Amino acid sequence: MSRIGNAIITIPEGVEINVSEGVVSVKGKKGELTQAIDSAITVVVADGVVTCSRESDSPEHRSKHGLYRSLINNMVIGVSEGYKTTQELVGVGYRAKTQGQTLELALGYSHPIVMELPIEVKVVATMEKGKSPTIELESCDKQLIGQVAAKIRSLRKPEPYKGKGIRFKGEEIRRKAGKAAG
């Protein structure tokens, strides 16, 4: 029994969903997304709701049922509201600067790190006096924004002793005690 797969998706105002030959395309004010659907899952759009059903109760089909329902729901939310991620750069001398789709980071290495971001992701870097620099990512694609945010975080992961590094806003870092002075 797939509780997630059986849940219906209500289509918000201004969102169009088309299903053709195993491909679901969702179009809204924030953009357009497409997703290929497995042949074992049937997607039906009717009366302002989307329902997903599976052809059998095999474990593989049950897992795909919930997966594709969640992917379609994320697409609907993405094109109507969008997704936003905020990251903080904690450390002395850590800086972030944007120019178009290019993100330049100074993370304590001997050289600046320059990243070219996908066109679908909007990036804003802010630096306020007395606060850690922040990077805000915004996109309609949840998977893409998560992948870009993880790539940025991997450049300098937060370390457990001083807490320096790139972290998500509100993320708790487990701190360790240093050497005991003895």
Please state the rounded mean pLDDT for residues 122-130: 92
| Residue 119, token pair as written in the block | 């066109």
Rounded-to-10 torsion of CA 103, 140, 43, 25? -80
pLDDT average, residue stretch 140-168: 94
Torsion of CA 158, 161, 164, 169, to 10 degrees: 60
Domain assignment present for 64: yes
User: Do residues 44 and 113 both lie within one domain?
Assistant: no
Q: Which of 80, 103, 135 is the last residue of a domain?
A: 80
Structure confidence at residue 4 as a pLDDT band (50, 70, 90): confident
Domain of 34 in residue numbering reads as: 3-80
Q: Are 94 and 108 in contact (CB under 8 A)?
A: yes
pLDDT at 1: 45
Pick from 28, 45, 80: which residue ends a domain? 80
**HEC states along 59-102?**
HHHHHHHHHHHHHHHHHHHHHHCCEEEEEEEECCCCEEEEECCE
Nearest to 104 by CA among 118, 90, 94: 94
In the chain, the number of structural domains is 2
- What's the CATH number where 128 sits? 3.90.930.12
Tell me which residue of 115, 122, 108 sits closest to 158, measured CA to CA: 108
Is 114 found in the same domain as 68?
A: no
Residue range 159-170: mean pLDDT, rounded: 92
- Residue-level pLDDT at 180: 78
- Edge-to-edge order in the sheet of strand 134-139: 122-126, 134-139, 83-90, 165-168
Residue predicted with more confidence, 2 or 66 = 66
Same domain (yes/no): 76, 90:
no
Backbone angles phi, psi at 127, to 5 degrees: -130, 115
pLDDT of residue 104: 95
Cβ neighbours of 2 (radius 10 Å): 17
